[in-house]
Structure 1
Amino acid sequence: MNISFIGAGNVASNLGNLFTNAGHSVQFGTHNPKDNQLSVAEVISFGEVICFAIPFSAMDAVLTENRENLKGKIVVDIANAIHLSDWSPVFLGEDSGGEQTARLLPESKVVKAFNTIFADAMKAEKQFNGQKLTAFIASDDQEAALVVKNLSDEAGFNGFVVGGIKNARHLEAMAHLNIAVALSGGGTDAGFIYVQNKN
Structure 2
Amino acid sequence: MKIAFLGGGNFGGRLAKLLTKAGHDVVVGLRDATQSHSANAYRVMSLEDAACHGEIVIVAIPYQACANTLPSLAQFLVGKVLVDATNPLRDDWSPLPLGESDSAAEVLARLLPSSRLVKAFNTIFADIMVEDRIERAGHPVTAFIAGDDVAANAVVAHIAASAGFAPLITGHLGNARYLEAMAHLNIQIAVVHGGGTNAAFVYHQARD
C-alpha separation in 2, matches of 1:115 and 1:13: 14
What is the count of residue pairs matched by the alignment?
A: 198
Report % sequence identity.
Answer: 45
SS state at 1:196 partner: coil
- For residue 194 of structure 1, the aligned residue among 181, 203, 208 is 203
C-alpha separation in 2, matches of 1:11 and 1:144: 22
- For residue 87 of structure 1, the aligned residue among 83, 89, 93 is 93
How far the C-alpha of 1:32 sits from its partner, in A, is 1.3
User: What are structure 2's unaligned runs of at least 5 residues?
Assistant: 37-42
- For residue 105 of structure 2, the aligned residue among 79, 88, 98 is 98
1:3 aligns with 2:12: no
C-alpha separation in 1, matches of 2:105 and 2:119: 6
Q: Deviations for 1:61-118, whole angstroms, at most 9, x for unmatched residues?
A: 222121121101110000111112x211111102000011111111111010000000
- For residue 127 of structure 2, the aligned residue among 99, 120, 125 is 120
How far the C-alpha of 1:128 sits from its partner, in A, is 2.3
* Length-normalised TM-score, structure 2: 0.92
Instruction: Give matches, 1:29-108, under 5 Å.
Output: 29-34=29-34, 35=36, 36-84=43-91, 86-93=92-99, 94-108=101-115
CA-based RMSD of the aligned residues comes to 1.1
C-alpha separation in 1, matches of 2:88 and 2:162: 27
How far the C-alpha of 1:198 sits from its partner, in A, is 5.5
Q: Which moved more, 1:30-39 or 1:129-138?
A: 30-39
Whichever residue aligns with residue 179 of structure 1, its letter is: I
* Length-normalised TM-score, structure 1: 0.96
C-alpha separation in 2, matches of 1:39 and 1:176: 30
